[in-house]
Amino acid sequence: MNNLQAIIFDLDDTLYSERDFVLSGFRAVANWGTANLGISQAQGYETLFDLYQQGIRNNTFNQWLQIHQIPAVSSSEETQSEVVAKLLDIYRQHTPQIDPFAESIELLKILTQSYKIGLVSDGYLEVQQRKWAALGLDHFFDAVVFSDSLGRENWKPSTAPFELVLERLNVAPEFSVYIGDNPRKDFFGARQLGMSTIQIKRIDAEYSHIPAPSLDYCADLTFDSLKDVLGAIAILNE
């Protein structure tokens, strides 16, 4: 009999590419910029894409407005703040154009035959719910926990969302494994409860080059693709 009873996944950059979500949001922002600010869609999107490629992750929309020299926002800090807030709303509220990794679907089809399947994901609740709906993976899962539903203080690395998903799956921590990508938060809470952990470290993922704060934050096993998960599960079941 297998030791593991449940396989629990992170969402962003684990089951799909977070970059795809970001670029989907940028397209929505660029479309709004065309209709309301007179920025051509192609130029607006290209600028956002370039900022992303440069590693800009904060004040992206402020810089975008400055680069395009929008008169209505360049002379008034208050007005610029209002426009940036609107752009953030568009980004967060748009309907994502995203797809799961092909290997995610292939793996889930296999795992559902032998294990209970769960999800624990951080991020603003409505944003994560929109992503989840767009990906169309819900039918594979026995329990889904968006940590924001428990309050911002219970985002990972808190143990709270892991405790909840295990309760819903009716599985003890020692018979479960959590699969994620971000060593700053994905594995600490799970390990505190006694869960096994696997890091998927894709070369082009957002957190692939981020070191863990300490050994307590490291995963038990690390692979560069979900294709290796079946072999990892075999190792953990030994």
Mean pLDDT of the chain: 93
pLDDT at 71: 59
pTM of the model: 0.92
Q: How far apart are CA 52 and CA 190, in angstroms?
A: 31
What's the 3-state SS for 181-200? Answer: CCCCCCCHHHHHHCCEEEEE
Per-residue DSSP letters for 95-155? -----B-HHHHHHHHHHTTTSEEEEEE-S-HHHHHHHHHHHT-GGG-SEEEEGGGG-GGGS
Torsion of Cα atoms, 21 then 27 then 32 then 38, to 10°: 150
Is the model's pLDDT at 128 over the cut of 50? yes
Alpha-carbon distances of 131 from 20, 54, 117, 141, 207, rounded to whole Å: 11, 25, 18, 15, 19
Q: Could you read off the pLDDT of 164-218 as tens digits, one per residue?
A: 999 999 999 999 999 999 999 999 999 999 999 999 999 888 888 899 999 999 9
The residue assigned the tokens 């699969």 is 179
Residue 159's pLDDT is 98
* Residue 1 confidence class, pLDDT cut points 50, 70, 90: very low
pLDDT of residue 204: 85
Q: Which of 33, 97, 96 is nearest to 60 (CA)?
A: 33
Q: Name the residue type at position 54.
A: Q
Tens digits of per-residue pLDDT, 75-118? 454 477 889 999 999 999 999 999 999 999 999 999 999 999 99
Please write the tens of the pLDDT for every residue from 44-84. Answer: 999 999 999 999 998 999 999 999 987 555 445 447 788 99
Output the CATH code of domain 6-17+98-236: 3.40.50.1000
Closest CA to 161 of 124, 122, 132: 122
Report how far apart, in Å, the C-alpha atoms of 234 and of each of 2, 4, 6, 113, 154 are.
9, 9, 13, 15, 31
Extract the tokens encoding 101.
């990794």
Two structure tokens written together for 19: 């970059």
Contact partners, residue 188, CB within 8 Å, separation at least 6: 156, 157, 216, 217
When pLDDT is averaged across residues 133-145 and rounded to a whole number, the result is 98
Asked whether residue 41 carries a pLDDT value surpassing 50, the answer given is: yes
The percentage of residues in the chain with a pLDDT greater than 70, rounded to a whole number, is: 96
What angle, 0 to 180 degrees and rounded to 10, lies between the N-to-C axes of helices 77-93 and 18-37? 130
Give pLDDT, residue 168: 98
